[in-house]
Amino acid sequence: MRDRLGTNRYYGDPAVVKYYGTLDGLLQGEQALLAKLRPDLSRFRMLDLGVGAGRTTPYFAPFVREYVGTDVSPNMIDLCRSRFAERGWKHVQWLVADVKDMTEIDDDRFDFVLFSFNGLDSVGGDEERRRALLEIRRVSAPKGVFALSSHSLGPVPEWLSFRAKVEDAFRPPRTARKILTLPRDLVRTAILRAANPRLSEIAAADRAILTDTRHRARRVQNYYIRPEEQLRELEAAGFRDPRVLTAFGDELRGEAVADVRERWVDYLCKT
């Protein structure tokens, strides 16, 4: 399939694969998710989408009935196979797969699907994203769970604001590091401002594909969406009771959803 956002190229780069192999541990929201699901993990058949170099694997694979890790990058999957070979897990499988077309996976197979690290935001534009969610719904078992994270569009104007960068650098606790790195942050912000739509256009949009930076300040494109729009998108794909979660696992409702200021937002829904 067409690699609209350059995802395959980026995650196939050996330097990027090596970097992702150094990442370890769950993010705060993922820790809250693990605690919430821990009582049911032993009966779950789990699909870990966009597994990368296996950052989440040690925290879920030992506790589930079946674990399948997939990634669009063959190099990432090769690293997972070598990294966890000594574990001797018989219930673990690794697959090179595109989430938009998982024909190698049967319908209704998984009780728990995880798409962490904003992986959904790398699959492409509106149509590619819709296809990915429909595929995830297809391979999800009835009465299962789907958890994901996604970039939130709401905080982006502030994130790309020169004024916000300066105010943050001089806001207590004021540190030498914050002040010394301010010029670099302003240059990086200027580069991103030039590569993206005007802040007024971003502020008026519900969703957008924006240029971002990742490993070694390489520029990549990511999909950003407002949480209330993401909830509607999940419902349209057939997921039930989609919820926005804080980093502590608490559910947000009503106006609190639109007021989310975190750039990364966690979602949990039923299948």
What is the per-residue pLDDT across 181-236, written as a single tens digit (0 to 9) for each? 999 999 999 999 999 999 999 999 999 999 988 766 678 899 999 999 999 999 99
Cis? peptide before 157, omega within 30° of 0:
no
Q: Is the dihedral of CA 66, 72, 77, 78 positive or negative?
A: positive
pLDDT score recorded for residue 55:
98
Provide the pLDDT for residue 220.
87
Give pLDDT, residue 231: 97
- Alpha-carbon dihedral of residues 8, 26, 140, 84, nearest 10 degrees? 70
pLDDT mean across residues, the chain: 94
pLDDT class of 109 with cuts at 50, 70, 90? very high
At residue 176, the pLDDT reads 87
7-152+225-270: which CATH number, 3.40.190.100, 3.40.605.10, 3.30.930.10, 3.40.50.150? Answer: 3.40.50.150
pTM as predicted: 0.94
- Concatenating the DSSP letter of every residue in the chain gives ---TTSHHHHHH-HHHHHHHTT--S--HHHHHHHHHHGGGGGG-EEEEET-TTTSSHHHHGGGSSEEEEEES-HHHHHHHHHHSGGG--SSEEEEE-BTTB-TTS-TT-EEEEEE-TTGGGGS-SHHHHHHHHHHHHHHEEEEEEEEEEEEESTTHHHHT-HHHHHHHHHSSSP-HHHHHTHHHHHHHHHHHHHHS--HHHHHH-SEEEEEEE-GGG-EEEEEEE-HHHHHHHHHHTT-EEEEEE-TTS-EE-THHHHT---SEEEEEEE-
Q: For the chain, give every domain's residue range.
A: 7-152+225-270, 155-204
